[in-house]
Chains A and B, each alone.
Chain A
Amino acid sequence: MCLNKVIEQLTQALGEENVLTEKEELAAYSFDATADIPKVVPQVVVTPTSTQQVQEVVKIAAKYKMPLYTRGSGTNLSGGTIPLNQGIVMVMVKMNKILEIDAENLTATVQPGVIIQDLNDAVAEYGLIYPPDPGTVATATMGGSVAECSGGLRGLKYGVTKHYVMGLEVVLANGKVMRCGGKTVKNVTAYDMVKLFVGSEGTLGVITEIIVKLIPAPETRKSALAVFRSLDDAAKAITGIIANKVIPATLEIMDNVTIRTVENYARVGLPTDAEAVLLIEVDGIPEVVEKEAEVVARVCRENNGELKLAETAEERDEIWQARRAALPALAQVSPTTVLEDATVPRSKIPDMLKALRHIAEKYQLTIGTFGHAGDGNLHPTILTDENNAEEMKRVHKAVDEIFEVALSLGGTLSGEHGIGIAKQKYLEKEFGEAGIEALKAIKKALDPENILNPGKILKF
């Protein structure tokens, strides 16, 4: 084949140290964080260090019609970086410079390989934060999170990644560089190309530079843990808090399976007989935080919730330790952890939680659910063993049903983890035929040869 030629040209363009060809090295790029997804070993891995090198790679891929899979830290949960048709994996982690922090305009300009936490550490000196904070904030790259439009714990008040991306530099499938958006707060020129690339999962272009919006760090914060004997009460509290015009930064839920698992693992003093706990944090100006915390406390009590307000920093840490322990605790129970991302309108949370309980019973599976209750984004987590073929069949059926229910409740397939390979087959159910056609038209217009991350989101 032409593989040798491709490697030769890649080496010429990027230097030997940025081109990996040994099969042991390649094997390390055959997977990402997604469970229950095929491993595929790419033919070559490249680590460009500049936009120009990215252009070279894209041009070579286009010339030889080699599939090109852009990769950040490979922490996505939808199979987004699996090189399904082999070809080239392009890892962006070496492009990891923070190019500018503009405290006057409240923006930062970064290369795509910058780790989200590193950006946050850098802007903290200016009293600023970059709010999107996925669970992987210490590992995920800015490029990967923009391409995945990731969310996180602060989504309810602060939104997800797309609310913070103001401008992009993108290398298109033909190797040309395009810039869109910028530092202006107002920008309504032509189509919103910035938003188009945010969440495009590497299928429309390669992001090589990102301008993001920063916000002043909240002056203070207050956390509480509320325990509920009934799911309905917990749900009423969620909607009640917001109906009372308090938008917490974080409003998280853990179901009984999760509570019991976390308690068993971390011994943080959670009530194992509770049906649900809510973890709530309000932040902002001290006076407002005080007032909002009171409202939260009142609403929880009115809905039969037992409330524990954190008075000190240590107590606050204890509360969040419980939430942080959720996934680890669940992950330790069984060899394989299938983490889903079904999202419903806030008011439908109790329906969704009940449906999940029913699905777990029906397919005889352990499902622990936790997640961002305030924004309706739940993470039902199936504890299983991928070596058990029979059980995996039931897992797949359960997953199908989870998404069916979510959609029937007016929800969406993904609140933050994207479509990738994992949720491709449900896409038409959400978008409809006309919708899929429109998506395909966009993909064809920008990447006619289907070079960029082929096999993801859309099937051709």
Chain B
Amino acid sequence: MACYDSLEKIKAEITKCMKCGNCQAVCPIYKEVMRETGVARGKIQIAKDLLEGRLEHTEKLQEIFNLCLTCKACAANCPSGVRPDKIILATRAAIVRKRGLPLVKRQIFGLMSKPRRFRMGIGMASKLQALGLKKIKDKDLARPRFPIGLDMKRIVRPLAGRPLLSQIPEVSKVPKSRARVAFFTGCMLNYIYTQAGRAVIEVLNANGVDVVTPREQHCCGIPVLVNGDVKTAKEIAKYNLDVFARGNYDAIITHCGSCIGAWVHHYHELLADEPRYGALAKELSAKAFDVSQYLVDKLGMREPLAKLNYTVTYHDPCHMVRGVGISQQPRKVIRNISGVTLKEMKKPDRCCGSAGSFSLSYYELSGKIRDKKVTDILSVNPDIVLTSCGACRMQLEEGLYRAGSDIPVRHVVEVLAEAYAKEGGVTSERKTG
């Protein structure tokens, strides 16, 4: 179903909505704006009006459809089994086809359709960022010096000095390997959370798995897709499919909710109408796993011998828990580390408000949603907050910093890697970064 190519294709999904309003109870946006256009039900009925010619592709309409975190809470709570997130993305795509993208996005996405230039661009940005960003004392955080496309109040993690791909060897082998997997790094951890990327390789190696990290890989394309740029999203999908079809891997390992969603669902949805790539996307989707999922479901992970001493809480990234149904596996990873106590916060699967570029366009609103999450985290008072997504991590880091808290945010496998490392006699705490 190439619903992103024509709004007509999503009509059946729209008709399924019985307008019961159940989605109001769970939509973080609705809770803030208190307007029917904020929630799935309103958006779906407006999409219907658009489809049936009662409304047009106006700027206001675009704004309404942009106002969504694609957190999928509505889909999970819908008694009729409607997929509002899909309807919303399909409508965004329809609007972009008609109205085009705003200039800034057009420039960035244009760059993204050229993997090599994109890599160079980011490389340059990481060298120049000191000009635009001012480091916050004693923290791995920074704030903009002048408007560089970020809200001036925004706090961010600066780009890593060197991207992950140039820090690690292309192949990390172990003596007696059980499997050979390809590592899809995604942007957040290639360019920002490189330590987490190294942790992925370390924990897979520690479980007897060879890890290949193809050099030519690109962004997963989800940021482009959610912004309605279907054309670029397709180009990126094909590019990645080609790169990962080349080696004959036992599995493709990802590390964030958006990336795994891309491999499991979106590539196929985007390319369903194209025979070769459609089939390839389907084939590779069966091989794609989130790292925790792979460790728990496929490998039966090895429990680390060393003990750590942490109380942690886990935040479920929307695209991980509702997008691909992974919530138990990261928790199992955590529970398998001796000495680590998992203390659940209230509604651990509630959206943190980041939603990728949403937090750029709607900084204030995103912040209000984030602060609710931070309150829940603080009420548990953990030593570390764990999650499975770089974008969530950045959002939570900012929220905690603003709340005056020193609690660090890390990826689940970083703690596991720490436990494995301690086995070998390395007892020093790892710095995240």
Contact = CB atoms under 8 A, between A and B. Distances in A.
Interface of A: 20, 22-25, 27-35, 47, 73-75, 91, 93-94, 115, 117, 136, 138-139, 327-328, 331-332, 335-337, 387
A139 B35 contact: no
Contacts of A91: 34, 36
Interface residues of B, number: 27
10 nearest CB pairs, A to B: A328-B79, A28-B36, A28-B42, A138-B25, A75-B21, A331-B80, A335-B15, A139-B24, A28-B37, A24-B60
A265 to B, nearest CB: 9
Given A27-B49, A31-B45, A328-B79, A73 B60 contact: no
Interface in B5-28: 12, 15-16, 18-22, 24-25
Contact of B20 (A25, A30, A33, A93): A33
A331 B80 CA distance: 6
Where chain B touches its partner, the secondary structure class is helix
A74 B37 CA distance: 13
Given A24-B37, A27-B45, A28-B35, A33 B21 contact: yes
A422 to B, nearest CB: 14
Interface in B36-88: 36-37, 42, 45-46, 49, 54-55, 58, 60-61, 64, 79-81
Chain A CB within 10 Å — which of B34, B36, B58 has the most? B36
Nearest to B58: A24
A414 to B, nearest CB: 18
A432 to B, nearest CB: 34
Contact of A331 (B35, B60, B79): B79
Contacts of B36: 25, 28-29, 74, 91
Given A47-B34, A328-B80, A331-B79, A27 B21 contact: no
Nearest to A25: B37
Contact of B21 (A20, A117, A139, A336): A139
A75 B42 CA distance: 12
Given A139-B22, A332-B81, A337-B18, A27 B55 contact: yes
B46 A94 contact: no
A20 B15 CA distance: 26
Contacts of A74: 21, 36
26 contacts: A24-B37, A24-B46, A24-B58, A24-B60, A25-B37, A27-B46, A27-B49, A28-B35, A28-B36, A28-B37, A29-B36, A30-B45, A34-B19, A35-B18, A74-B21, A75-B21, A91-B36, A94-B34, A117-B25, A136-B22, A139-B25, A331-B79, A331-B80, A332-B16, A336-B15, A336-B18
Nearest to A337: B18
Contacts of A93: 34
Given A73-B24, A136-B22, A335-B15, A27 B54 contact: yes
A28 B46 contact: yes
A94 B30 CA distance: 11
Given A91-B36, A139-B21, A332-B81, 14 more contacts: A20-B35, A22-B60, A24-B46, A24-B55, A24-B58, A25-B37, A27-B46, A33-B21, A139-B22, A327-B79, A331-B79, A332-B16, A335-B16, A337-B80
Contacts of B21: 33, 73-75, 136, 139
Contacts of B64: 24-25
A73 B25 CA distance: 10
Nearest to A77: B20
Contacts of B61: 24
A28 B80 CA distance: 20
Contacts of B37: 24-25, 28
B51 to A, nearest CB: 13
Contacts of A138: 22, 25
- Highest count of chain B CB atoms <10 Å: which of A24, A33, A73: A24
A331 B22 CA distance: 13
A42 to B, nearest CB: 11
A422 B20 CA distance: 16
A234 B361 CA distance: 58
A138 B20 CA distance: 12
A75 B20 contact: yes
A58 B355 CA distance: 40
Contacts of A33: 18-21
Nearest to B26: A138
B27 to A, nearest CB: 10
Contacts of B79: 327-328, 331
Task: From A22, A28, A34, A336, name the one whose CB has the most chain B CB atoms within 10 angstroms.
Answer: A28
Contacts of A328: 79-81
B352 to A, nearest CB: 22
Contacts of A31: 19, 45
Contacts of B22: 136, 138-139
Given A23-B55, A27-B49, A31-B45, A331 B18 contact: yes
Interface in B82-107: none
A74 B45 CA distance: 13
Contacts of A23: 55
A117 B42 CA distance: 22
Nearest to B21: A75
Most buried by A among B15, B18, B42: B18
A268 B37 CA distance: 36
A30 B42 CA distance: 10
B394 to A, nearest CB: 30
Contacts of A115: 25
A328 B79 CA distance: 4
A73 B23 CA distance: 11
A332 B55 CA distance: 27
Contacts of A94: 34
B43 to A, nearest CB: 8
B44 to A, nearest CB: 10
Nearest to B45: A31
A47 B35 CA distance: 9
Nearest to A74: B21
B239 to A, nearest CB: 36
Contacts of A335: 12, 15-16
Nearest to A93: B34
Contacts of A73: 21, 24
B122 to A, nearest CB: 37
Most A CB atoms within 10 A — which of B16, B20, B22? B20
Contacts of B45: 27-28, 30-31
A32 B19 contact: yes
Contacts of B42: 28
Contacts of B46: 24, 27-28
A191 B395 CA distance: 57
A74 B21 CA distance: 7
